[in-house]
Amino acid sequence: MKPVTQVTSPALLLLDANIDTDQIIPARFLRKPRSSGYHHYLLYDARYDMQGQPRPGSPIPESQGGAKIVLAGHNIGCGSSREGAVYAFVDYGIQVIISTKIADIFRNNAIRNGLLPIMLDQAQFDSLVAYCQARPHANLTVDLQACEIRWETDSCLAFEIDDGSRERLLEGIDDIQATLDWEQKIDIFAKDYLTERPWVVPGRV
Amino acid sequence: MTQPSLTLFEKIWRQHVIASAGEFDLLWVDRHFVHEGSFHAFDKLDGSGRPLAYPELTFGIADHYVPSNLARLDDDPEVAKMIRLLEDNTAKHQLTYLGLGHSDRGIVHVAAPELGLTLPGLIIVCGDSHTTTHGAFGALAMGIGATEVAHVLATQTLWQRRPKTMRIHVDGKLDAGVTTKDLALHIIHQIGTGGATGHAVEYTGPAVAALSMDARMTLCNMTIEAGARVGMVAPDETTYAWLRDAPQAPKEESFVQAERHWRTLYSDPDVHYDKAVTVDANEVAPRITWGTSPEQSIAVDEPFSPSDSEATRSSLDYMGLSVGRPILGLAVDQVFIGSCTNSRLSDLRDAARVLDGGTVKVPTLIVAGSNRVKAQAEAEGLAEIFRSAGARWGESGCSMCVAMNGDSVAPGQRCASTSNRNFPGRQGPGARTHLMSPAMAAAAALNGKIVDVRQSAAGVSA
Ligand code: SF4
């Protein structure tokens, strides 16, 4: 997983509330291998009509145009647990999603795939949106080291993220590899636990 | 030193913590269910070069890609391939696999509880958000993503941040003709689709204690639609009675030992929840969603006057509705009765009571949640009632809940559905979904439009 430290780019605005993962990637694309490039499927039904022609009101440009940051409406990523929704953003080039609420499973998936989820309060979020609407091509800088979002020369706001998530993203930690350090502890736990509760294993007793 | 008061959720969580690092706990996982969509995770596992840690705790079930008409499986090689991939991956790692043709197969959230694989006090995970369903047994059950699935396959553990706790207390009693689906839609309408995000929900109160296991599963199933990854009900006599009959649940001495543990699983009386909500069951009426989010619902007899906002306007636009046009009496093009929310025997009985002796006016598809439910429904004559009414009785699975297995709703078509999500495109691009209970959906099928099931003579159970 690619580490995320500092990201500077213009922001893409997806301000509808409750953009669920079925909209982010419709179910019929989930069978596609990751190697096919999940950016093709990002918000597919909002981007293309039934004939596969681009819709005039598409919420995102056909080519990503350098945006690595998304400002998303309240409760982005609700619904299905499909990690394909995160792959679609990541493959499109997005590294940061900022919202007032990010759904739990989507957030977990994001952290495991180098997509930084940031939750701001409404006033902070609104000020960012106002700036980006006024200056659509202007850059934002998201700095995970300093936990800051900066714009222009002197505007800056701090965001909060728990240490574990921050560390995973900064270091690009692969959980499976990291957990190997705990292997002995897991074995001891499992032995005690399953001895005490043999009925947990179906068919064993 | 006195023990601190703990919630049901906290007790189970603590019993599973192997280690902690910062805000993350490393949790032992008792049960892991995989389905066709888990192929990304198997690829990751293979990429890590690790074997599958505990094959005896992992179960594969084909559900999402199973079409309601098995003869159509060859129509789309990509769909057939998804089922084959799961078959290959479970064979390779020597997992129990409930595949096509297996008499115990079904939607994982219907089949696993029915088999007794879902037990109180377990941590249960699956790469599917409706894993909340299993919380009906007092298990801590949550949906996870593919990278987490791979981690569980490789280690039988999961790193998680502990969510906050939330209690949803349901007082009173559901009226006749009002079901748990209506209660769930009522709660989501009250607290919003993000109302429980970041929290583990526990349902308490007399109205919850009175519910059957089927109904508790419907309630916990819909919890994810309020944003919570965990919804649970403390185990009680209703739970133990179910488990005594379940084939894979512990038996005899082993059951006694297990039950001793299960009886310790409750929230301490004076315990604090981070958030608490109270709902009055007596106020719940049959509900229908009108928009594109499960929170956008109204009681069937309520005037339709949603607040004017951009979100409302875009939902109305997608749904082909306008303010002032009542929901009651709205014509539907088709009906789907099924999904992990409402495809258990009691749901099918509700539908059959309404359909008995009548004829459907619009195409109606009824799909049992599992092959066991299907066999029972056939044995007690429900399937015959459905067929005589002109409904199609399909092969068990996810079917028309999600447009990925060949069953879908055509663009612009309006579907009365007992599933759980009315998101744009959920049942197919441009599909218009109205969520409701099985009884309401059956009444819509008979009338070709949305009606109040309480006006029909047939009764329904909670
Ligand atoms: S029935 Fe629908 S919601 Fe349930 S597991 Fe299947 S696709 Fe998901």
Shortest Cα–Cα distance, B402 to chain A (Å): 7
Interchain pair A204, B426: CB under 8 A: no
What mean pLDDT is predicted for residues B251-256? 96
pTM: 0.95
Residue with tokens 């007790």: B11
> Which one of B22, B37, B254 has the shortest CB-CB distance to A164?
B22
Residue A24: in which H helix or E strand, if any? Answer: helix A21-24
Task: Say what the alpha-carbon torsion angle A158, A162, A164, A169 is, to the nearest 10 degrees.
Answer: -40
Dihedral through CA B127, CA B128, CA B132, CA B138, nearest 10?
-40
- Give the pLDDT band (50/70/90) at residue B1: low
Statement: residue B461 has pLDDT above 80: no
Q: Do A45 and B424 touch (CB under 8 A)?
A: yes
Question: Taking residues B444-453, what's their average pLDDT?
Answer: 96
Interface test mutation site (partner A, options B11, B12, B18, max chain A beta carbons within 10 A): B18
CA atoms of A58 and A45, how far apart (whole Å):
9
Which of B26, B228, B425 is facing A23, going by the closest CB pair?
B425
| A108 contacts B404? CB cut-off 8 A | no
B 105-164 residues inside an 8 A Cβ radius of A: 116-117, 119, 122, 127-129, 143-148, 150-151, 154-157, 159-161, 163
Question: What pLDDT score was predicted for residue A204?
Answer: 54
Q: Which of A41, A108, A113 to mutate to test binding with chain B, by most B CBs within 10 Å of its CB? A: A108
Phi, psi angle pair for B390, to nearest 5°: 95, 10
**How close, in Å, is residue A152 to chain B by CA atoms?**
31
Average confidence (pLDDT) over A22-51: 94
Query: What percent of chain B clears pLDDT 70, i.e. is strictly above it?
Result: 98
Q: Give yes or no for B375 touching A (CB within 8 A).
A: no
Is residue A11 pLDDT above 50, yes or no? yes
CA-closest candidate to residue B399, choices B407, B387, B391:
B407
Query: What average pLDDT does range B139-164 have in this prediction?
Result: 97
Please state the rounded mean pLDDT for residues B363-383. Answer: 98
pLDDT at A1: 80
Mean pLDDT in residue range B236-256: 96
Please name the residue of chain B whose CA is at the shortest distance from the CA of residue A47.
B429
User: In sequence order, what are the residues at sequence separation of 6 or more whose Cβ sits closer than 8 angstroms to the Cβ of residue B296?
Assistant: B189, B289, B290, B306, B312, B315, B422
- DSSP three-state, residue B351: helix
- Nearest CA to CA, how far is B18 from chain A (Å)? 6
- The 8-class DSSP code of residue B95 comes to -
Report pLDDT for B459: 44
| Three-state secondary-structure class, residue B143 | strand
DSSP bridge pairs for A96: A69, A116
In this prediction, residue B144 carries a pLDDT of 97
Averaged pLDDT for residues B236-259: 96
Q: What is the mean pLDDT of residues B88-98?
A: 96
pLDDT of residue A50: 87
**Rounded CA separation B367/A141 (Å):** 51
Lowest mean pLDDT, pick from A5-14, B16-25, B271-280, B319-328: B319-328
pLDDT-derived band at B28, boundaries 50, 70, 90? very high
Residue nearest to atom 2 of ligand 1 (CA): B401
Per-residue pLDDT, A64: 65
The percent of residues in chain A predicted with pLDDT above 90, rounded, is 84
Chain A residue with CA closest to B164: the answer is A104
Distance of alpha carbon A8 from alpha carbon A12, whole angstroms: 12
Cα atoms in the 13 Å half-sphere on the side-chain side of A77: 34
pLDDT tens-digit readout, A56-79: 888 888 776 789 999 999 999 999
Q: Give me the pLDDT at residue A203, please.
A: 77
- B304 CA to chain A: closest CA distance, Å? 22
- Find the residue in A nearest to B411 (Cα): A50
Instruction: Kindly compute the dihedral angle of the four CA atoms of residues A89, A172, A116, A83, in this order, to the nearest 10 degrees.
Output: 40
Measured in angstroms, the CA of A162 and the nearest CA of chain B are apart by 7
> What mean pLDDT is predicted for residues B8-25?
96
pLDDT surpasses 90 at B388? yes
The pLDDT of A109-119, averaged and rounded, is 97
* Percentage of chain A modeled with pLDDT above 70: 99
* Structure confidence at residue A66 (pLDDT): 86
Report the separation in Å between the CA atom of B234 and the middle of ligand 1, taken as the mean of its atom positions: 24
- DSSP secondary structure string, B262-319? HTT-S--TT---SEEEEEEGGG---EEE-SSSTT-EEETTS-------HHHHHHHHHH
Rounded distance from Cα A165 to ligand 1 centre (Å) = 29
Q: Is the predicted pLDDT of residue A163 greater than 70, yes or no?
A: yes
User: Ligand 1: does its nearest atom lie under 6 Å from the Cβ of B64?
Assistant: yes
Mean pLDDT across the stretch A142-162?
A: 93
Site to substitute for ligand 1 among B402, B404, B420, most atoms within 8 A of C-beta: B402
Choose the closest CB to A17 out of B40, B261, B311. Answer: B311
Conformational region of residue B246, where left means phi above 0, alpha means psi within -120 to 50, and beta covers everything else:
beta
The mean per-residue pLDDT over the stretch B207-211 comes to 98
Distance between start and end Cα atoms, chain B? 44
Residue B37 to residue A189, Cβ atoms within 8 A: no
Three-state DSSP state, B337:
strand
B109: alpha, beta or left? (left if phi > 0; alpha if psi -120 to 50): alpha
Average of per-residue pLDDT values in chain A: 93
ipTM value of the model? 0.93
* Contact indicator for B7, B201 with CB cutoff of 8 Å: no
Protein residue with its CA nearest to atom 6 in ligand 1: B398
Which pLDDT score, from 0 to 100, does residue A101 have? 96
